[in-house]
Amino acid sequence: MKLNVINLDGGAAGEVDLSDDVFGQEPRADILHRVVRWQRNKAQAGTHKVKTRSETSYSTKKIYRQKGTGGARHGDRNAPIFRKGGIYKGPTPRSHAHDLPKKIRKLGLKHALSAKAKAGELVVIEAATAEAKTKELASKVKNLGWKRALIIDGAEVNDGFLRASANIAGLDILPSQGANVYDILKRDTLVLTKAGVEALEARLK
């Protein structure tokens, strides 16, 4: 698959040959769903917590005698049926992560890249380099029509470009190693540098 390469000014900068194995797959919603679900569950903090009857602040004194009152038997006011008592079987801190085979994770990334290429939402640029001037870069991004875009560079992101893009709404930058299905799918435009294309193809082949 061949795709035109542009520079940040919008001018032509040749073309690049994309691997069909990485960018020419038929996207499957079930694979993408599994990978996104795995990512989001792994990212969930899992710090939800309630107090049990051993942790609430009431006295542990027995509230009335065991027998002869005509009422139910109770030990103390920490019981779950009382107001401000402990919670029975409530949530406790835990990990929400689950396993997903590496082959599926790798396939999911290929399908995410292929989905963007198939939808015409994939752009390849010569390089992501700029002086640390937000105003200049913001003007170029506006002229290119990128409203919600993810830029994936090679092994490292240019420092000047990273600083210039820090305050531009809707623009995110990742090195090739940080490329993931969730971030790719939630943006309208996926922008790859030529170095990013080479790095992704080397990673996924």
- Residue 155 contacts residue 175 (beta carbons within 8 Å): yes
pLDDT per 10-residue tile (average), the chain, 205 residues: 90 91 95 98 96 93 94 94 94 96 97 96 91 89 93 92 92 95 96 95 92
pLDDT reported for residue 129: 87
pLDDT reported for residue 1: 85
pLDDT reported for residue 198: 95
pLDDT reported for residue 132: 75
Distance of CA 34 to the CA centre of its chain: 13
pLDDT reported for residue 13: 86
> Domains of the chain by range and CATH?
2-37+99-204 (3.40.1370.10)
- Tokens 């835990």 -> residue: 94
Order of strands, edge to edge, in the sheet holding 12-17? 12-17, 2-6, 122-125, 189-193, 149-152, 171-174
Q: Is the pTM of this model over 0.85?
A: no
